Amino acid sequence: MKKIIAHLVILLFCLGCLHYTALAKPDKVDGVNVPSGRIPQDIKNNKYPRTFYPNTEKLGKGEMRITALGTGMPTQTPSNKSASFLVELGNGDKFLFDLGVGATDMLSGLQADYGKLDKVFVSHLHTDHIGDLASLWVAGWIGGRYTPMHVYGPSGSSPELGTKVHVDHIRAAWAWDVTSRAGTLPNAGGEIVAHEFDFSKTAVVYNENGVEVTAFPAIHIRDGSVSFRLDWNGLSFVFGGDSVPNKWFLKEAKGADVVIHECFFTPEQWMKIAGFPYKQAYWATTIIHTPPEGFGKIMSEIKPRMAVAYHYWNHRDVEFEIYERVRQTYDGPLTMADDLTVLNVTKDHIEVREVTIDHEAWAQGTSTEWDTAPRGEPATGLMAEWLKSGEVKGFNPPPTQPID
């Protein structure tokens, strides 16, 4: 009897090990990678659940989904990350507009397919708009991206202030990191490519798979800020990074479906929150940003199907005052976005909800395409012999499966 019990214990232990070490692969549903065990459902007759749980809903063939990953400030808070919006289209394409500090935390919570997150559009080179680029570049590579990361961003008043030099310096700064992962991860996933365009021109900067992204000038502190408009399948999305009201935005955003624009604090709020004297508070809120009344006038002029305000701390006392001031100059459809606000957009309906995420979630796992993507040899020869000779042998267990 004791032998039988011992054998059963060993069998259960082995089965447990097999379960624990099973490959963490996503499932494919209609060609879309979703976390294993999730079965996304069709949305019919515009009847959306009140809360959006990631990877539980199929995106319609003609539908756009916009998720706020961050809506806050350079001094982000645990519940208010810096600026970033994820746009997903019914054709399978995904685009990131800005990627401020903390935004990649939210991508992890969404259990996003990193293999599809390879296009970032940068409005300007402030940390609260592009501070997480290196994080997505490397974490996305580990999490399933096997193609290069593409970064579309503006030039500056001189080459060293443009997107290309910014990306080149990121590549150089993280050389220790990236070269040490070579071979273990797919070769192409470790590449990051800058697509710099002239910030002073209104021009199409991306045109693939029926998706057209147009960039146009914005006015924010110095040369080199832009806004974007995405057009696809009769739907339009406009994203403004930071800017005071300007003629280009009024023209390019006119009549778009969803228009996102900063809606900054009032000078008095900034004095109270940040302790700035009035002169500096007015400069920060009104000379280089757009305060609530200005946001309202912009939206009254362009008349979008849905106006989206962001770029403030989402404290209730602050938000209510911002909302009241917006309503002094704008009475149309309005979303006061916070982190994880989500908008589903079709030609006849816009649904605004909140995402509920699992705060213990991790990425959905790498795909078979990632497994089979070309690799070089694992990183070797990067360590001095004296350092390598300090390893104590026999402490780590030997492999239980072939590794050659």
- Give the DSSP per-residue string, 232-282: ETTEEEEEE-S----HHHHHHTTT-SEEEEE----HHHHHHHH---HHHHH
Three-state DSSP class for 317?
A: helix
CB 82 within 8 A of CB 312: no
For the chain, residues with pLDDT lower than 70 are 1-23
CB 216 within 8 A of CB 249: yes
pLDDT of 126 = 97
pLDDT of 364 = 86
Name the nearest CA neighbour of 74 among 139, 1, 10, 128: 128
pLDDT of 261 = 98
pLDDT of 404 = 74
pLDDT of 365 = 86
Residue type, 381: G
pLDDT of 362 = 83
- CA distances (Å), 87 to each of 152, 153, 344, in order? 15, 17, 10
Three-state DSSP class for 369?
A: helix
pTM: 0.92
**Domain architecture of the chain: domains with CATH:** 48-388 (3.60.15.10)
pLDDT of 403 = 81
Name the nearest CA neighbour of 110 among 351, 364, 352: 364
Q: Which two tokens stand for residue 376?
A: 């070089």
CB 365 within 8 A of CB 26: yes
The residue behind tokens 């000379």 is 287
Rounded (to 5) percent helix, strand, coil in the chain: 30, 25, 45
Sign of torsion, CA 58 63 68 69? positive
Distance CA 375, CA 267 (A): 54
Distance CA 319, CA 373 (A): 47
Instruction: Name the helix (H) or strand (E) containing 2.
Output: helix 2-20
Residue type, 53: Y
